[in-house]
Amino acid sequence: EINSDSIKTPGILIKQLLSTPAVLAAIPVYAVSNIGWLIVLSKLNLSVAYPFLASLYIFIPVLSMVFLSESLTLQHWTGIIVIGIGIGVVLSAGLA
């Protein structure tokens, strides 16, 4: 368990983090996502590929709503729509 005492001692904190199943599962996921990003960059221009990262601002709240039962306000939905439109505009300019 990570607590305020372990945060004060970096060695203990690292040991506790590396013994946490969620952190251990996240490491290969992070590695695969980086490899995937490198593959995407090898095939697309950065100006086309980079806007896809903004899609995380759409997927994370929506998936949090679906899987974690979090509620999204009108401001959330407005932001999600604006980001989606922005991604569309940037991609249409990049693909033209």
pLDDT tens, the chain, 96 aa long: 666 766 777 787 888 888 888 889 999 999 999 999 999 999 988 888 888 888 999 999 999 999 999 999 999 999 999 999 999 998 888 665
Cα–Cα dist 73/77, whole Å:
6
Global confidence as pTM: 0.63
Residue corresponding to tokens 């249409």: 92
